[in-house]
Amino acid sequence: MQSVSTENRLAGLTRALRKLATSLVVIATTLFGLLVITFVVGRMVPTDPVISLIGPEADQQTYERVYRMLGLDQPLYVQFFTYLRDVLSLNLGQSFITKNAVTTDLARVIPATLELSTLAILIGGGLGIPLGIIAAVRKGSWIDQVARVVGLVGYSMPIFWLGTLVILVFYAWLQWIPGGGRIDIYNEGIVSGPTQSLLIDSIIAGEWEVFWSALHHLITPALILGYASMAYLSRMSRAFMLEQLNQEYVLTARAKGLPGRTVVWGHAFRNIRVQLLTIVTLAYCGLLEGTVLIETVFGWPGLGQYLTSSLLYADMNPVLGSVLVIGLISIIANLLSDVVYRFVDPRTR
């Protein structure tokens, strides 16, 4: 009996190691593909990095010297392996605009984007998922109609247009919301902490005036992003729940006289948790891309505004570094969702 138990443990360990090895191979392949794409895009963009660095008025001798210094005279495969080596050593080059290393700039702007995206997904998921489930349970009612209109408007309305409209009405006209930026000018520099999140660091430092100022600036762009994700999550939640409510086990549970709340939340909802986790992960990754527009509209000093400014000035090192970071965050988010799957649904273990 003990030998059988030992064999089962070894078999389980072997399966776990095999799955881990498969996951690592998938992650490495995805990262390699992402590096290839960013390298190819960087070489295809019709911008001369030498001119961006030395200016259009430099002489031909200086141009050729910088051209060789950047390694552009090397074969393309040599340039790629040089790029791969630099990325693996966390060397993403230098920004021509800020004159800083790209990694330094990214470490400064990423926390602001994560703060905005995280609050937005909490708003979108906290409102969109319950709304979609209730709409499915009460199909055809006024709640269902409201949920469908919310989803339709959220899908149809461009996020940058909605942000501009909110600024015109609530800032320029009614003056209910603050202007652009992450915090009021007179509160800048008071709080600096390890997380680089003004909300968290101000709470740790006990600077409540800084906290409320940061929250005041954060809530409007987070609500707009959250509304966009809420539209998506409510529609998907409604579709998932409608599918489950038509299953035979739900009809059997209702025939046995189980309360509606138990049937919906105790049975049907349990079977859509993995699907919901997937779409929440996708929505969060989508928010990282959506911040490019909303940060530009609200002057939010995050990754999106950094990427947009770099594109306007053809500063390709920050552009490629930002795209690489967004892809890496998406990979990590999907990896974490796979880990959570195993706790949510025992069938995936």
Return the pLDDT at 349.
56
Q: Which of 224, 237, 236 is nearest to 158 (CA)?
A: 224
pTM of the model: 0.82
Question: Is residue 96 within 8 Å of 52, Cβ to Cβ?
Answer: yes
Return the pLDDT at 130.
92
Question: pLDDT above 90 covers what percent of the chain?
Answer: 7
* Residue type at position 158: P
Give tens-digit pLDDT for 326-338. 888 888 887 777 7
User: 204-213: which pairs have CB atoms within 8 A and are 24 or more residues apart?
Assistant: 210/183, 213/183, 213/184, 213/187
123 pLDDT band, cuts 50/70/90, is very high
Judge whether residue 277 has pLDDT over 60.
yes
Give tens-digit pLDDT for 196-248. 788 888 888 888 888 888 888 889 999 999 898 898 899 899 999 998 888 88
Q: Which of 282, 338, 317 is nearest to 43 (CA)?
A: 317
Stretch 134-154: mean pLDDT, rounded?
86
